[in-house]
A and B are shown apart, each in its own frame.
Chain A
Amino acid sequence: MNRRYVRRDGDRQADNKLNLDPARGEDGMHLDACIKCGACTAQCPVAAVYPLFPGPKSVGPDAERLRLEGIALAPGCLAYCTNCKTCEVTCPSGVCITDMILQVRRQEQEAGTGKAICRLGMRDHLLGRAEYLGRLGTLWPPLANTVLGWKITRRLLEKTLGISARAPLPRYGRKFRTSDIAPVVGKTQSHGETESYGETERYGQSEEHGRGKTEHGCRKTEPSDRVKTDRKGRSTQKVVYFPGCFISYNDEATGQAVVKVLEHNGFEVIVPGFHCCGVPLTANGRFREATANAQHNLGLMQPYLEQGIPVIASCTSCGLALKEDYPRVSAPGAQRIGAQTYDLFEFLWVLHERGELRKDFREVQASLAYHAPCHLKAQGIGTPSVRILRLIPGVKIQELDAGCCGLSGSFAFKAEKYELSLQIGSTLFQRVQGGVKEKAFQAVATECGGCQVQIEHGSGAPSLNPVWVLYQAYGLGISSAIG
């Protein structure tokens, strides 16, 4: 029996006995774990609002039986799967449904059957490359935002490329880079080992970056008490930070906040010149490119991974890719990346459990709702940001538990899917609007940049990364969303 698609099972010994064809992927062999209960389809955010999508049970384990017999689904059948992984989280039997779906998409792409319409092929090509778009957009953000703000541009994009004219394209900001935080002279330069990694950027025990108001309105503050060594007198520990495209091109201020929070806890933060994690590429059927990105990024991480330095992701989709997809890539470092990657708050919680998280919290009077991004749920770590924020005096935070926001990376940007994305998020938006109206909370905290954009678009309520609450509690600055 092959259990690749079964996460937990009691019968491991038997697993090795059946020798299945590794070339075929043999995977669904143990489809017996699926008892056809339909819980996945009942929870699927897309299937509930879009009848033409057969739902995860049908396109996953059901169709897998046919695929094993050589019978494929009509190409395009899977186009409406947003890869939110709700099905997988829901499944009471631990069947890895999205793995099956992604594998078929990969095969469709390789066979060239997946994309019928050239225009949409162009769009996938473009939307998969959040990174290059980001590089373009951040060259001169005011220009990019102005041009993308024109109705005519958006209509043109819709007519020519099928990119929805109404979808909430995130605004471009300054590019996230080290030079915005002045490094401490003589400290960060002294570590020679990163010089050869191209655009590697590192944050030392830096001074406050010399900026006034940012997008999030963090004010310039006095430098906090920097620790050259941690409280136990050991030399400063290091972490590698994987910022991801949203931080890099749309929300560098949050990236700075992440770095400062880590520094405040005595970490030296290293940011090599990473490419996009690959999730947007995968979502748009560009599997080869996604693998190439993973290999590039793993190459940059490898020396740090070997030293046992943890990799921190603040974007939940990047984090999931690092934990789930990267270990399957053939590259040095692939064996270590899964175990050494931490979601930012997962990492802070580990510090807390070890008694190493700094708790010099100032009171923060904030009452927040929390939205758990789908790709955080899929990591199987719970909701560590809620745990951390509840340590801060004055903070009230309540999970919304209202399902997917509907954005799903670039899904909502596609003209034919935009309305659907709002329908998917409608439960969430209503709950947010209701809560704001009743003054139950003032803003929605969520780690995912995409969720933030969609929540603001769909509900009109402000949304922020939870790191800002911590940033404020540490006295590093003020975030406008929570006052």
Chain B
Amino acid sequence: MWDGLVIGGGIAGLMAGIRAQERGKRVLIVSEGTGSLAFASGGLDFGTVEQLRKIERHPYALLGETVEEAFAYFLQCCPSYHGAWGRTGMALTPLGTLRAADLLPEGLDASPLTHANRIVLVVPEGLKDFFPEVVKANLQKQFISSNIQLKRIRLKEFADWQAIGKPIPDTVYAKFWCSEQGRETLKNLIGEITRKMVSDSETLVFPGLHAAACPEVEKILAQAPLPVVEMTSFPPSAAGQALYDRLRGRFKALGGELLIGSGVERVEVESGQARRAIVKSKGKEISFTAKVFVLATGGFFGRGSVASSTEVRETVLGLPLYVPPEWSESRFLGEQPYAYTGVEVDHSLHPCDPVTGKVLLENVFVVGRMLAHWDPWVGHCGGGVSLSSGFLAGGLL
């Protein structure tokens, strides 16, 4: 018997697991795959919390002060992240434009660029999905008075990749910089650029480097005489992966168990209580009993909800969903109503009947993308809702 069984190993599920484990609970997280953090940029959005809170039924309206607590708690869990409540930071996109984010690994913080006269853009040869000329042009547009230069680097360690013309993923580059040889190369490279430095307001933009994944690299950058700004990348991204690794590592270090590769098939309910989760392991179904269950199955993308042409289903508990009358809107980038589909909950995240408002299961908490009445793309609050609902569930569990 587990104290808590979390269904889904994305950011909301991991947060719930970490918080509960820290409170001395025994938690099992069951996840279909590695969750979708590897597709994320590594930056987390909270959106304009005060505004969103005023929207009736928005998760922030239910979560109240928890959102700010979760923000602070996350910074404790992930010391390489920086952010200040109410102040939005900036990160570089893979195309060299700026995007807002509320929580960022220190390396992704692009603020040093605002007062750089000279920006040196490192161009690691063969880096996948990296277009130096586009990035340079976009940087120039945003930092008009800066002198932007490219610094091409070619590493003998990737000779095999270059010989066959195969692009090198940023996850592979990140792993190299973390190796002993990579760290040496990095030190020399920074030394070389520093020697040629003409003013003291130079900044290095360094794609494919993800210091958050490696404390030794963080140390090298902390000692560098000029700021180094990293870039986000297309999925699967090293920065998203590093965040996933960090949260997963934290959960396991606290004694939690993560079962990846076979999601929960269904949860059996007896007399108004969720009793056991059925996991389809190889060869047979196995069951795990728990006192409390957290539904963190990630909405449509995580297949926690599945839509057919006539209906939308919640796949694990069969909970009734709030489904908007119209699903889509003709403007592609407009507000898409389907995003509001999800489970309605009370203030303690218990699933409720969307018609009667009655609590359906006392020992189930619903978190993250499974919650109804929010749109992460319009509200820019995907990270915030997931973190704070996961945090709350972990505290209640």
Contacts and interface: CB of A to CB of B under 8 A. Distances in A.
B360 interface: no
Contacts of A48: 171-172, 175
A367 interface: no
B25 interface: no
A52 B164 contact: yes
A51 B32 contact: no
Interface string A367-409: 0000000000111111100110010000000110100000000
Given A92-B32, A381-B282, 20 more contacts: A8-B280, A10-B315, A39-B34, A39-B39, A42-B241, A48-B175, A90-B260, A92-B35, A322-B283, A323-B282, A339-B283, A353-B1, A377-B260, A379-B282, A380-B259, A380-B279, A382-B258, A382-B259, A390-B255, A398-B253
A43 B261 CA distance: 13
A427 B38 CA distance: 19
Contacts of B255: 390
Nearest to B237: A42
Interface string A184-205: 0000000000000000000000
A339 B284 contact: yes
24 contacts: A7-B262, A7-B263, A7-B280, A8-B262, A37-B39, A39-B33, A42-B236, A48-B171, A48-B175, A51-B164, A51-B168, A91-B33, A94-B263, A322-B283, A337-B283, A338-B282, A377-B260, A377-B261, A379-B282, A380-B261, A382-B257, A386-B257, A387-B257, A390-B255
Given A338-B283, A379-B282, A399-B252, A37 B235 contact: yes
Contact of A341 (B252, B279, B283, B289): B283
A93 B303 contact: yes
A38 B281 contact: no
Interface of A: 7-8, 10-11, 37-39, 41-43, 48, 51-52, 88-94, 320, 322-324, 327, 337-339, 341, 346, 353, 377-383, 386-387, 390, 398-399, 401, 426-427
Contacts, number: 119
A346 B306 CA distance: 32
B282 A380 contact: yes
B265 interface: yes
Contacts of A8: 32, 262-263, 265, 280, 303
A10 B304 CA distance: 10
Given A37-B39, A92-B302, A338 B284 contact: yes
Contacts of A90: 33-34, 260-261
With most chain B CB atoms within 10 A of its CB, the pick from A91, A323, A382, A383 is A382
B252 A324 contact: no
B227 to A, nearest CB: 28
On chain B, which size bracket covers the interface?
35 or more
A151 B285 CA distance: 49
A401 B262 CA distance: 18
B161 interface: yes
User: Which of B1, B34, B255 is the most central at the interface, judged by chain A CB atoms within 10 Å of its CB?
Assistant: B34
B125 to A, nearest CB: 13
B160 A51 contact: yes
**A90, A341, A346: residue with the most chain B Cβ atoms closer than 10 Å:** A90
Interface centre among B36, B38, B282 (most CB of A within 10 A): B282
Interface string B255-296: 101111111010000000000000111111010010000000
Contact of A51 (B161, B241, B263, B283): B161
A377 B257 CA distance: 12
B89 interface: no
Contacts of A324: 282-283
Contact of B306 (A11, A322, A327, A339): A11
Nearest to A52: B164
B166 A51 contact: yes
A424 B278 CA distance: 34
B350 interface: no
Contacts of B35: 92
B324 to A, nearest CB: 20
B161 to A, nearest CB: 4
Contacts of B160: 51-52
Given A90-B34, A94-B33, A401 B252 contact: yes
Nearest to B315: A10
B57 interface: no
B248 interface: yes
Which of B35, B166, B235, B262 has the most chain A CB atoms inside 10 A of its CB? B262
Nearest to A85: B261
Given A37-B235, A51-B160, A379 B257 contact: no
Interface string B13-26: 00000000000000
Contacts of A327: 283
A399 B302 CA distance: 26
Nearest to B259: A382
B34 A379 contact: no
Contact of A92 (B33, B259, B280, B281): B33
B319 to A, nearest CB: 14
Contacts of A322: 283
Contacts of B384: none
A10 B297 CA distance: 13
